Amino acid sequence: MMRQSQEWFLERSREMVNLRGVLALLSWDQETLMPPRGSSLRAQQSAMLAGLYHEKLTEPQWADVLEELEDVNSDPWISASVREMRRQHQRAVRIPESLVRELAETTSLGYHVWVDARRRSDFGLFVEPLEKIVRLKREEARCLEFSGSPYNALLDEYEPDMTTTELDALFSVLRPKLTDLVARIGDSVVEPDSSVLQGDFPRPEQEAFGRRILTAMGFDWEAGRLDVSAHPFCSGFSPMDVRITTRYAEESFASSLFGIVHEGGHALYEQGLGVDHFGLPAGDSISLGIHESQSRLWENQVARGRPFWDYWYPYLKETFPGRFDTVSLDDFMPAINQVTASLIRVEADEVTYGLHVILRYELEKSLLEGSLAVRDLDQVWKERMRDYLGVVPEQSSEGVLQDTHWSQGLIGYFPTYLLGNLYAAQMFQQAQRDLPDLEQLFGSGELRPLREWLREKVHVHGKIFSASELIHRVSGEPLDSSYFLTYLETKFGDLYAL
Amino acid sequence: MMRQSQEWFLERSREMVNLRGVLALLSWDQETLMPPRGSSLRAQQSAMLAGLYHEKLTEPQWADVLEELEDVNSDPWISASVREMRRQHQRAVRIPESLVRELAETTSLGYHVWVDARRRSDFGLFVEPLEKIVRLKREEARCLEFSGSPYNALLDEYEPDMTTTELDALFSVLRPKLTDLVARIGDSVVEPDSSVLQGDFPRPEQEAFGRRILTAMGFDWEAGRLDVSAHPFCSGFSPMDVRITTRYAEESFASSLFGIVHEGGHALYEQGLGVDHFGLPAGDSISLGIHESQSRLWENQVARGRPFWDYWYPYLKETFPGRFDTVSLDDFMPAINQVTASLIRVEADEVTYGLHVILRYELEKSLLEGSLAVRDLDQVWKERMRDYLGVVPEQSSEGVLQDTHWSQGLIGYFPTYLLGNLYAAQMFQQAQRDLPDLEQLFGSGELRPLREWLREKVHVHGKIFSASELIHRVSGEPLDSSYFLTYLETKFGDLYAL
């Protein structure tokens, strides 16, 4: 009976992983290659398979099988898998189908209204749909059950075990210190000249340089691809097939290059999950925050650092002949690390980025808890931007309407972006302790030792440890925002002569 | 009740079309882009969805629903769909699951043995697997029920309603006439110089030229793509997403170019099925033979003809500067139409191709009917090649082992290749009657009138008419091999001064 349950569990889990892989391929193809007229069929295909996935996840038999397997399993991969499936199954069965359908319809419509509202920069158009989305998400949280804030129920989807209590503690320390650092940088006499990054950078050379760096990072080309899409992303169908995308702008190489490194960091995590436990629910990444830590660490701690460019700058010069003849590495480093209090999150630098996230977190939590009305959102957004970053959007399209997340019902997602930065800084300081010659290695182009360290410390563990257990195991301490702050203070204190 | 049945029918049909589209994407991705290590997961994904498709196709409810809808429907698209689903459903339920599984295992193994046997050119290695495959296919035919030859049951999968009686009648007329024509061409004093087609043809220019011709043919780029794969194919996920592939050899532009036109012909059929009836079982192509007629017609009747090149030859010269300076169109035309009795089917020209197919048809029919033993196949192959084409393979790898079909259980498939040529010739003569200025149009680069004609006469009808009804409607006569023979006699009589 136990054996039967375990077989059922393993077979069903494997089917669901396969379905997720197919859904990911449908989506990847849609974003990269699909001819435009294919979209309506693709939507039908995806909806059908998503429905099938939901059916499999909510089968009544799960309850018995999970109960039977829960306490008796000595294999940590099986017990972590049982734990994970219980979480997923419970989330799925607790939300009634009528609510699932209403949310799907409302967000589908909401997305289209948001596109239109942003185009016209008219927040008023978006008020009613967003009110409905917030109401439905509150209902979803109620169905899911929670302790403390209803926000916790939503957060759990993206960052399991994280709570508003912990986020509030982390962010309330961070916010004033980030605001202060941004202000001090604003007052600095140092003014990086980022115009050296502008020019004519042919796409084939950009791509070749990006591929070269991915190879040096240890990206396995036998188990992955690099393609082009409007919005860069990483999609892991399995550790044996991980695909990243970028977009190229010929007038600037930087956004594509750092984008490739960022997605490459995600991809190393997916490839590093390994094949041994693939197909088990526990053989997957642990949380969005940990996932984001892998991309941020490679993008910021590594590829925006001096040791990295000590090695790669000559190759950059070689790739774009003549472009950097008069630009020394001492000029180049500030240019790729310029800090500017600006309106748009996705264009923000390492220092200001966190404030964009905290602002969104505070607002969406208040919306969900009922202490902020949707109709006041535009105004409050502007006030907070002034308080935190000292800039105020004139247009709602550059303010509250800039991100798509809320229109799609993604509430509880934003904090994972900043958590990624915190995890990354804390992991990286530990990597520097464990590998004392890390910077020398970077300086001689050796990036793989870091990949090996991350693989051993993070990637191979899948969902065996929760995110908080994982960061504790890696660094010997719970998550602490001071590592991120120290990293920023040191790096930007230096660059801006603070 | 009727209404309920019809709703069930439509919804289930739509789901199955979506599943087929997803399966086709999985396969397309595997052939074009998938990183090598992704293959084991892909096999699992495809097997799972194929199993799901089979489940849906064999649901017991079909029997009642089909019966209820059978006689009462006045909409020709619904009644053709009911007819088609009855055919598919019956085929599926008549084959027991144990046989499906045994066939899948045997052909999977058989394929690997065949690859090895071909590599070593050792037919002996392949005898036992092929014996088992033939035995299982005979069993399959028995389950499917048939009248006349058991071969009819297998043929029905690829070319519904076609029978060995009809094929024997067609091919027994063709075979001696083709053999005679090949012999006369062999004796001709005219010797085309195909070396003018050899040289250095950079891939980007080949691709650009191919795309230009596809555009002229009316290929809808908003609803399709052209990519690269080891074995060229066309895959239509829906009329809104039709993808073709080719492979480029830089030493010769011809195989890629004619390959693109060939697959383009398939693609125009898929795009031409139209969106109105997409999702209905009848909204699909009618048979492999009709499908092949569309590719052959564009490749041979159009793109290997003089009027086509009257327009395109200057552009070919422009695309590959200097390559054809000393080659007149009078030299070029024989070069792309050279006839050579050779060993390999996929490299055969228009005249010899049919003999390769007839040989395979005769042999596989005899195997299935039990009048030929697998162990004698290699020897009989060599004898027939000598009789039909006057050439004898020294190596089995260039003889009986050259094609993958049998190793994969594809028995009954080969005849559709030659049927395609027959349908194409008969359709094209009708197109010339209906559009008297067709050659002038080709000569001025106008290919779309032919696409419109094919769309109206063939593409839009989906499965409303059987293949034999369709050719009768198009040409006013049943399928008749004389059109193909006349076409060959005229064209090659001219080229070879017979």
Q: DSSP string covering B63-83, please?
A: HHHHHHHHTT---HHHHHHHH
- Rounded distance between C-alpha atoms, residue A485 and residue A351, angstroms: 9
- How far off is chain B from A45, nearest CA to CA, in Å? 5
pLDDT at A71: 73
Please judge whether A38 and B238 are an interchain contact, meaning their C-beta atoms are less than 8 angstroms apart: yes
From chain A, the residues in CB contact with B27 under 8 A are none
- Rounded distance between C-alpha atoms, residue A133 and residue A196, angstroms: 44
- Picking from B38, B222, B278, the nearest residue to A35 by CB comes out as B222
Please judge whether B241 and A38 are an interchain contact, meaning their C-beta atoms are less than 8 angstroms apart: yes
Cα angle B133, B138, B142; round to 5: 145
Q: Give the 3-state secondary structure of chain A.
A: CHHHHHHHHHHHHHHHHHHHHHHHHHHHHHHHCCCHHHHHHHHHHHHHHHHHHHHHHCCCHHHHHHHHHHCCCCCHHHHHHHHHHHHHHHHHHHCCHHHHHHHHHHHHHHHHHHHHHHHHCCHHHHHHHHHHHHHHHHHHHHHHCCCCCCHHHHHHHHCCCCCHHHHHHHHHHHHHHHHHHHHHHHHCCCCCCHHHHECCCCHHHHHHHHHHHHHHHCCCHHHEEEEECCCCCEEEEECCEEEEEECCECCECHHHHHHHHHHHHHHHHHHHCCCCCCCCHHHCCCCHHHHHHHHHHHHHHHCCCHHHHHHHHHHHHHHCCCCCCCCCHHHHHHHCCCCCCCCCHHHCCHHHHHHHHHHHHHHHHHHHHCCCCHHHHHHHHHHHHHHHHCCCCCCHHHCCCCCCHHHHCCCCCCHHHHHHHHHHHHHHHHHHHHCCCHHHHHHCCCCHHHHHHHHHHCHHHCCCCCHHHHHHHHHCCCCCCHHHHHHHHHHHHHHCCC
- Rounded distance between C-alpha atoms, residue B85 and residue B280, angstroms: 10
Please judge whether A221 and B22 are an interchain contact, meaning their C-beta atoms are less than 8 angstroms apart: no
For the cut 70, the answer to whether the pLDDT of residue A1 exceeds it is no
pLDDT at A319: 96
What is the distance between the terminal CA atoms of chain B, rounded to a whole angstrom? 67
Residue with tokens 């795309």: B211
- Rg of the Cα trace of chain A? 23
Please judge whether A29 and B26 are an interchain contact, meaning their C-beta atoms are less than 8 angstroms apart: no
Q: What is the DSSP letter of B300?
A: I
Q: What is the DSSP letter of B325?
A: T
Please judge whether B34 and A223 are an interchain contact, meaning their C-beta atoms are less than 8 angstroms apart: no
For the cut 90, the answer to whether the pLDDT of residue A72 exceeds it is no
From chain A, the residues in CB contact with B34 under 8 A are 241
Give the SS3 label for residue B9: helix
What residues have CB less than 8 Å from B454, skipping those under 6 apart? Answer: B268, B269, B272, B294, B297, B427, B431
The phi and psi torsions of A244 (rounded to 5 degrees) equal -115, 155
Which tokens hold the place of A291? 């996932």
Strand order in the sheet with B224-228: B224-228, B241-246, B234-238
pLDDT in tens, A5-18: 999 999 999 999 99
- Rounded distance between C-alpha atoms, residue B364 and residue B373, angstroms: 10
From chain B, the residues in CB contact with A278 under 8 A are 41
For the cut 70, the answer to whether the pLDDT of residue A469 exceeds it is yes
What residues have CB less than 8 Å from A2, skipping those under 6 apart? Answer: A68, A69, A72
- How far off is chain A from B238, nearest CA to CA, in Å? 8
pLDDT in tens, A200-224: 999 999 999 999 999 999 999 999 9
The tens-digit pLDDT sequence of chain B (498 residues) is 678 999 999 999 999 999 999 999 999 999 999 999 998 889 999 999 999 999 999 999 999 999 999 877 679 999 999 999 999 999 999 999 999 999 999 999 999 999 999 999 999 999 999 999 999 999 999 999 999 999 999 999 999 999 999 999 999 999 999 999 999 999 999 999 999 999 999 999 999 999 999 999 999 999 999 999 999 999 999 999 999 999 999 999 999 999 999 999 999 999 999 899 999 999 999 999 999 999 999 999 999 999 999 999 999 999 999 999 999 999 999 999 999 999 999 999 999 999 999 999 999 999 999 999 999 999 999 999 999 999 999 999 999 999 999 999 999 999 999 999 999 999 999 999 999 999 999 999 999 999 999 999 999 999 999 999 999 999 999 999 999 999 999 999 999 999
From chain B, the residues in CB contact with A45 under 8 A are 18, 21-22
Name the residue in chain A with its Cα closest to that of B15.
A48
- How far off is chain B from A292, nearest CA to CA, in Å? 24
Please judge whether A35 and B237 are an interchain contact, meaning their C-beta atoms are less than 8 angstroms apart: no
Tell me the residue type at A396. Answer: S
Name the residue in chain B with its Cα closest to that of A236.
B38
- Rounded distance between C-alpha atoms, residue A303 and residue A268, angstroms: 15
Residue with tokens 């490194």: A261
Name the residue in chain B with its Cα closest to that of A239.
B38
What residues have CB less than 8 Å from A305, skipping those under 6 apart? Answer: A439, A442, A491
From chain B, the residues in CB contact with A37 under 8 A are 220, 222-223, 240-241
- Rg of the Cα trace of chain B? 23
Mean pLDDT, rounded, for A62-81: 88
Mean of all residue pLDDT scores within chain A: 96
* Fold (topology level) of B118-199+259-498: Neurolysin; domain 3 (1.10.1370)
Residues of chain B whose C-beta is under 8 A from some C-beta in A?
A: 14-15, 18-19, 21-22, 25-26, 29, 33-38, 40-42, 44-45, 48-49, 52, 220-225, 237-238, 240-241, 278
- Rounded distance between C-alpha atoms, residue A433 and residue A427, angstroms: 10
- Rounded distance between C-alpha atoms, residue A372 and residue A151, angstroms: 14
pLDDT at B137: 98
Which residue, B351, B260, B250, is CA-closest to B312?
A: B260
- How far off is chain B from A242, nearest CA to CA, in Å? 9
Which residue, B311, B295, B195, is CA-closest to B254?
A: B195
Residue with tokens 């660490």: A297
Cα angle B273, B277, B281; round to 5: 90
- Picking from B38, B40, B221, the nearest residue to A35 by CB comes out as B221
Name the residue in chain B with its Cα closest to that of A23.
B22
- Picking from B34, B40, B224, the nearest residue to A35 by CB comes out as B224
From chain B, the residues in CB contact with A36 under 8 A are 222-223
Residues of A marked active site are found at: 263
Work out whether the CA dihedral B140, B142, B144, B150 comes out positive or negative: positive
From chain A, the residues in CB contact with B22 under 8 A are 22, 26, 45, 49
Active-site annotation holder among B84, B166, B205, B263: B263
- How far off is chain A from B269, nearest CA to CA, in Å? 16
From chain A, the residues in CB contact with B38 under 8 A are 223, 237-238, 240-241
- Rounded distance between C-alpha atoms, residue A88 and residue A11, angstroms: 16
Neighbours of B51 (CB within 10 A): 12
Please judge whether B29 and A34 are an interchain contact, meaning their C-beta atoms are less than 8 angstroms apart: no
Q: Please say if B15 is a catalytic residue.
A: no
Which residue, B428, B199, B427, B190, is CA-closest to B307?
A: B428
- Picking from B19, B42, B223, the nearest residue to A37 by CB comes out as B223
From chain A, the residues in CB contact with B271 under 8 A are none
From chain B, the residues in CB contact with A238 under 8 A are 38, 41
- CB-based contact A453:A475 (threshold 8 Å): no
Buried b or exposed e, range B251-270, using 16+ CB within 10 angstroms: ebbbbbbbbbbbbbbbbbbb
pLDDT at B1: 65
From chain A, the residues in CB contact with B221 under 8 A are 35
Which residue, A133, A171, A140, A134, is CA-closest to A157?
A: A140
- Rounded distance between C-alpha atoms, residue B239 and residue B219, angstroms: 11
Q: Which one of A25, A41, A214 would you mutate to disrupt binding with B, by most B Cβ within 10 Å of its Cβ?
A: A41
- Picking from A22, A44, A222, the nearest residue to B45 by CB comes out as A22
Residue with tokens 């929670």: A146
The phi and psi torsions of A345 (rounded to 5 degrees) equal -55, -50
pLDDT at A274: 86
Which tokens hold the place of B50? 């194929």
pLDDT at A2: 79
pLDDT in tens, A427-468: 999 999 999 999 999 999 999 999 999 999 999 999 999 999
Chain A, chain B: beta-carbon pairs less than 8 Å apart? 88
Please judge whether A40 and B237 are an interchain contact, meaning their C-beta atoms are less than 8 angstroms apart: no
Long-range contacts, A79-86 (Cβ 8 Å, 24+): A80/A281, A80/A282, A80/A462, A80/A463, A80/A464, A81/A9, A81/A13, A81/A280, A81/A281, A81/A282, A81/A283, A81/A463, A82/A9, A83/A282, A83/A463, A84/A281, A84/A282, A84/A284, A84/A463, A85/A9, A85/A13, A85/A281
Q: Which one of B13, B17, B32, B45 would you mutate to disrupt binding with A, by most A Cβ within 10 Å of its Cβ?
A: B45
- Rounded distance between C-alpha atoms, residue B357 and residue B361, angstroms: 6
Q: Which one of B23, B42, B245, B273 would you mutate to disrupt binding with A, by most A Cβ within 10 Å of its Cβ?
A: B42
- Rounded distance between C-alpha atoms, residue A163 and residue A147, angstroms: 9
- Rounded distance between C-alpha atoms, residue A374 and residue A364, angstroms: 10
Half-sphere exposure (Cβ direction) of A286: Cα atoms closer than 13 Å: 25
Q: Is the ipTM of this complex over 0.95?
A: no
Residue with tokens 């004609």: B453
- Rounded distance between C-alpha atoms, residue B300 and residue B422, angstroms: 12
Q: Which one of A27, A30, A45, A243 would you mutate to disrupt binding with B, by most B Cβ within 10 Å of its Cβ?
A: A45
Q: Are strands A241-246 and A234-238 parallel, antiparallel or unpaired?
A: antiparallel
- How far off is chain A from B98, nearest CA to CA, in Å? 20
Half-sphere exposure (Cβ direction) of A160: Cα atoms closer than 13 Å: 17
Which tokens hold the place of B185? 């061409």
